[in-house]
Amino acid sequence: MVSRAILILGDQLSPDLDALRDADKDRDLIVMAEVRAEATYVGHHPKKIAFLFAAMRKFARRLEADGWQVAYTRLDDPENTHAIPDELARRAADHGADGAVVTEPGEWRLRQALDALHESYGSHMEFICNSDTRFIASKDEFKDWAAGRKQLRMEYFYREMRRKTGLLMDGDKPAGGQWNFDHDNRKPLKGNDLFASGPLRFDPDDTVAEVLALVEREFPSNFGDLRPFWFATDHDQAQASLDHFIAQRLETFGDYQDAMLRDDGFLSHAVLGLYINAGLLDPLKVCQAAETAWKNGQAPINAAEGFIRQILGWREFGRGVYDIEGPDYTSRNVLEHKRKLPDMYWGGDTQMACMSAAVSQTRAEAYAHHIQRLMVTGNFALLAGIDPHQIHEWYLAVYADAYEWVEAPNVIGMSQFADGGVVGSKPYVSSGAYINRMSDYCKGCAYAVTAKTGDKACPFNLLYWHFLIRHRDRFGGNPRMAQMYRTWDRMDETHRATVLRDAGRLLERLDAGETV
Ligand code: FAD
Ligand code: DLZ
Ligand code: SF4
């Protein structure tokens, strides 16, 4: 007989979970389950499903080796009910458990599904809501910080977190004399400045091979290449990936954070988000590793600070916003964008070299770095007026690190401005000039990045103005966008009319399903 069934979800693979710390190996039962409800709520990239199933299986074995009783349901188990609440209830009943413990899921969808079970268990089900070692701030800490503020800005929360953790602090002052070194982090890459090292890759072991065969069989038509599969799938491998990043690429992380190259989709990025989000790496320890590298002279301050800010600042801030904004956040659409997501996002033909590069890489690796997500695929969707819910579901499906609590603030908030400015004070939009400055994409493109009108005009050049003009009522008064509108107003009237006409034609072609 056991007393409690302790649920561990696929993205809660942390040995430090409170739910484990307070449990009793002799009496409690760990419940883990591969279920269709989680594997199909969007059409996840096959690499993402394989990563999670392999990491879940290995974590379950690690727990068993540590002396825990684990009830693990595989996807092809004939008894599988294929929903997390049902599996928890089934396993608890089978083992005679009289209570359940759940670390609150990241996503509202699953929180709500588990609420019903909570009602039937009553006081016998414990929801651990405010303590989760996969985050540095608790939800209450974020709520307290946000309370009474007119606007939530990441930078101020980040400073609080620096003070709280002592990361990169010199007494009560920021190390290096500045909180933020972003102005040093905008260097484009030249010619052959390729980064040969890339992330650490792992050959599939027996567990991974078995999962790959399962995913191939069960999810044959999901968008994305399952093989070659090279992700880390346990804590040791994830730690080795972190060590490798710190030794090889952190040094240049800051300088080339915004750069994009056709032949190198990783550059100096860490490719650690999927491991941190699944519990294979502890975010605070990752930040501390970067700080130590700076202290040891292995990385400059702009690299260490830039990297730490992404985790301590953006990741924690996004999670807090998702929590306080509530379950309707993903249906926000203040700009009333309604256009269907074009096929090119699913690998359909496009003549745009930047979109083709970002989508092909996404299909191959379940990965694109931040600027590809924000300034290529996100920028295009926003300028073209794509329905934010459709682009949100795309991001949630195609990236190995995607869970709604982190994806939605980035997509609905930062990238699509669908939340009306909760996350960002202005929309992230640019013409082709930005992409050309930061990448080598434009050289091989059918469009001309210097052309402002006509058939060869870069679609970003046309749609940039179309977006600003169709939303002038909303953004015309924003001081951070005043310069853009002044530039437009100074243009020759005939030129302005041609830009808007050509942009309108491009959108018509998009609506007709033509290749753009
Ligand atoms: P690096 O660039 O090396 O950064 C290091 C770490 O910082 C990341 O591993 C991640 O943990 C954290 N980080 C960096 N930027 C952010 C950010 N904006 N928000 C939260 N954490 C951040 N991140 C996700 O984890 N899941 C998502 O589903 C996701 N969707 C995104 C969608 C859009 C439109 C945009 C613009 C960004 C999205 N991000 C998402 C944030 C960021 O792009 C990824 O965290 C990053 O690309 C992961 O790759 P990396 O590990 O190489 O990160
Ligand atoms: C993403 C995912 C997938 C594909 N499959 C499972 C699964 O079978 N079992 C599971 O416990 N978790 C899975 N996950 C992760 C969950 O979707 C995630 O825990 C919730 O979205 C909450 O963030
Ligand atoms: Fe992208 Fe425009 Fe450059 Fe082509 S010209 S790669 S569409 S930015």
pLDDT score, position 318: 98
Q: Among the atoms of ligand 1, which is closest to the Cα of residue 409? A: 19
As a whole number, mean pLDDT of residues 371-391 equals: 98
pTM: 0.97
How far apart are alpha carbons 231 and 237 in whole angstroms?
Answer: 9
pLDDT in tens, 411-456: 999 999 999 999 999 999 999 999 999 999 999 899 999 999 999 9
Is the CB of residue 378 less than 8 Å from the CB of residue 80?
A: no
Measure CA of the first residue to CA of the last residue in the chain; give whole Å: 63
Residue closest via CA to ligand 1's atom 36 equals 374
Identify the three-state secondary structure at position 85.
Answer: helix
pLDDT in tens, 118-160: 887 777 778 888 778 889 999 999 999 999 898 999 999 999 9
Residue whose pair of structure tokens reads 């002799």 in the numeric block: 26
Inform me whether the pLDDT recorded for 1 exceeds 50: no
pLDDT score, position 124: 78
Q: Where are the beta strands (DSSP E) in 404-508?
A: none
Q: Where are the beta strands (DSSP E) in 355-507?
A: none
How far apart are alpha carbons 346 and 226 in whole angstroms?
Answer: 15
pLDDT score, position 117: 84
pLDDT in tens, 300-349: 999 999 999 999 999 999 999 999 999 999 999 999 999 999 999 999 99
pLDDT in tens, 107-120: 999 999 998 888 87
As a whole number, mean pLDDT of residues 180-202 equals: 76
pLDDT in tens, 279-302: 999 999 999 999 999 999 999 999
CATH of 343-511, one of 2.60.450.10, 1.10.579.10, 1.10.4030.10, 1.10.10.10: 1.10.579.10
Inform me whether the pLDDT recorded for 191 exceeds 80: no
As a whole number, mean pLDDT of residues 399-413 equals: 98
pLDDT score, position 123: 74
Neighbours of 220 (CB within 10 A): 9
Nearest ligand (C-alpha, residue 365): 1
Ligand 2 contacts CB of residue 52 (under 6 A) = yes
Q: Where are the domains of the chain?
A: 4-130, 139-198+249-325, 343-511
For 2-62, give the DSSP string.
-SEEEE--TT---TT-HHHHT--TTT-EEEEE--HHHHHSS---HHHHHHHHHHHHHHHHH
Mutate to test the pocket of ligand 1, among 252, 286, 396, 410 (most ligand atoms within 8 A of CB): 410
pLDDT score, position 2: 58
Is the CB of residue 286 less than 8 Å from the CB of residue 242?
A: yes
- The structural architecture, per CATH, of the domain 139-198+249-325 is Alpha Horseshoe (1.25)
pLDDT in tens, 223-244: 999 999 999 999 999 999 999 9
Q: DSSP character for 71?
A: E
- Residue 100: enclosing H or E segment and its boundaries? strand 99-103
Residue closest via CA to ligand 3's atom 8 equals 432
What residues does 261 pair with on adjacent strands? Answer: 264
128 vs 48, residue with greater confidence: 48
CATH of 4-130, one of 3.40.50.2000, 3.40.50.620, 3.90.1150.200, 2.60.40.10: 3.40.50.620
Q: Among the atoms of ligand 3, which is closest to the Cα of residue 458? A: 2
4-130 and 343-511 agree in CATH topology:
no
Mutate to test the pocket of ligand 3, among 351, 377, 453, 458 (most ligand atoms within 8 A of CB): 458
Cα→Cα distances 449→439, 440, 459, Å: 12, 12, 9
Q: What angle do CA 147, 148, 154 make, to 5 degrees?
A: 65
Tokens of 227: 């093989």
Cα→Cα distances 53→58, 166, 210, 211, 336, Å: 9, 36, 10, 7, 38
pLDDT over 70 percentage in the chain: 98
pLDDT in tens, 467-513: 999 999 999 999 999 999 999 999 999 999 999 999 999 999 999 99
Confidence band of 352 (pLDDT split at 50, 70, 90): very high
Q: What is the overall mean pLDDT for the chain?
A: 95
As a whole number, mean pLDDT of residues 377-400 equals: 98
